[in-house]
Chain A
């Protein structure tokens, strides 16, 4: 005698306090909060796939100018120097600060790029209804990345550096900085537009069929 497997697909648990509730039926743009702790349990975003596609694509296009174009430049006593994100990494490697070079590469380059690429790829696959079990594994890894993108911290770093350098030399702003700020905006917007609940529903339904 085996016990009939019970499905709990109509239930949902709060990720923050584990409180159980029935899965709410949400309209686009609505969200449900937990009645126990007040945290967000579920959210249904507006037009998630198309918006994510657009934002992720824009972000990826900005990537090259944001990395190779100079962010800021300094000039003093007739000498001039400027640095891009890649220059920062190169200088750290040249001075044997490998740990910092790797951290900088991962947090301000690799993780943001992988996030944008993953968001683009997932949205594209769902839009064209090409759902495979491999895609499920792929999207599972996506969730790990959110807390490790540090574009915003680097931007504050640029601002603090500029403030520090004002006393030392004459400053100029590079085109790379403009691209970098736009990249940061796109990267932030991806987490706003991407609807994880919706994507998981689509992935789960797609695999069962």
Chain B
């Protein structure tokens, strides 16, 4: 790590930065509060890894019903037709609507899976004290954080279509039970990302110098 400029961390100086107002506080005891804004502060987020792991596992569990149950029930001329996330994408491909198939596939399948995998990688690299450049892992964290809300796309699409496609008994769209699990999965991964403390990724650097 000779290229890294030697920077002392706040933790080494016994200081905890308030995540709300950025004020540095000398950490003397547990349950300390920030002298500026009275928020609870500590050197690192409390039980960051445990909470991140717990929320990620919850998201992985919700991923299965989210994909197995239908998210949308389309009724045309009296015959209802249920579609899951993946079968909906299949229909688009059959109809030749490739751009929308790709957008939906990325937003509702690749992104949630990638987010859960990314979170697991972050947890494991912190736990094992990985030497992989923390800069790259911080980028991965920001990516997971950034992608968070975008997986809600399908939920909103179904909600809007159900409201607008309601043309009497002839044609209607209804939400399916899968959509609730899907929303839960997205919310769980967002909680997981919020519990993670990116400063943990940099702490390994200091242990060996």
Chain A residues in contact with chain B, CB under 8 A?
5-6, 8-9, 11-13, 15-21, 35-39, 42, 71-74, 76-77, 79-83, 87-92, 95, 97, 99-100, 103-104, 107-108, 136-137, 139-140, 143, 147-150, 152-154, 156-158, 160-161, 163-165, 167-169, 196-197, 200, 203-204
Q: Are B162 and A8 in contact (CB under 8 A)?
A: no
Within 8 A of A (CB), among B1-42: 4-5, 7-11, 13, 15, 17, 19-26, 36-39
Q: Are A200 and B36 in contact (CB under 8 A)?
A: yes
CB neighbours of B4 from chain A (8 A): 36
Q: How far is the CA of A140 from the CA of B156 in the complex (A)?
A: 30
CB neighbours of B26 from chain A (8 A): 5-6, 8
Q: Are A20 and B183 in contact (CB under 8 A)?
A: no
Q: Are A81 and B9 in contact (CB under 8 A)?
A: no
Q: Are B199 and A17 in contact (CB under 8 A)?
A: yes
Q: How far is the CA of A28 from the CA of B199 in the complex (A)?
A: 28
26 A-B Cβ contacts within 8 A? Answer: A8-B26, A13-B17, A16-B202, A17-B9, A19-B7, A20-B15, A21-B7, A35-B5, A36-B4, A74-B167, A81-B167, A83-B163, A88-B163, A99-B183, A103-B152, A143-B20, A147-B148, A147-B149, A148-B149, A153-B149, A157-B157, A161-B157, A161-B164, A164-B100, A200-B21, A204-B23
Contact A73-B156, Cβ < 8 Å, known A13-B9, A16-B199, A164-B100: no
Tell me if B175 counts as interface (CB < 8 A to partner A): yes
- Among A21, A97, A165, the residue within 8 A (CB) of B179 is A97
Chain B, interface size category, equals 35 or more
Q: Are B134 and A150 in contact (CB under 8 A)?
A: no
Tell me if B121 counts as interface (CB < 8 A to partner A): no
Tell me if B161 counts as interface (CB < 8 A to partner A): yes
Q: Are A74 and B17 in contact (CB under 8 A)?
A: no
Among A17, A80, A169, the one with the most B-chain Cβ atoms within 10 Å of its Cβ is A17
Chain B residues in contact with chain A, CB under 8 A?
4-5, 7-11, 13, 15, 17, 19-26, 36-39, 95, 97, 99-100, 103-104, 107, 134-135, 138, 145, 148-150, 152-157, 159-168, 170-171, 174-175, 179-180, 183-184, 187, 190, 193-194, 198-199, 201-203
- Among A36, A107, A196, the residue within 8 A (CB) of B152 is A107
Q: How far is the CA of A36 from the CA of B135 in the complex (A)?
A: 9
Q: Are A204 and B36 in contact (CB under 8 A)?
A: yes
Contact A168-B165, Cβ < 8 Å, known A17-B138, A88-B159, A147-B148: yes
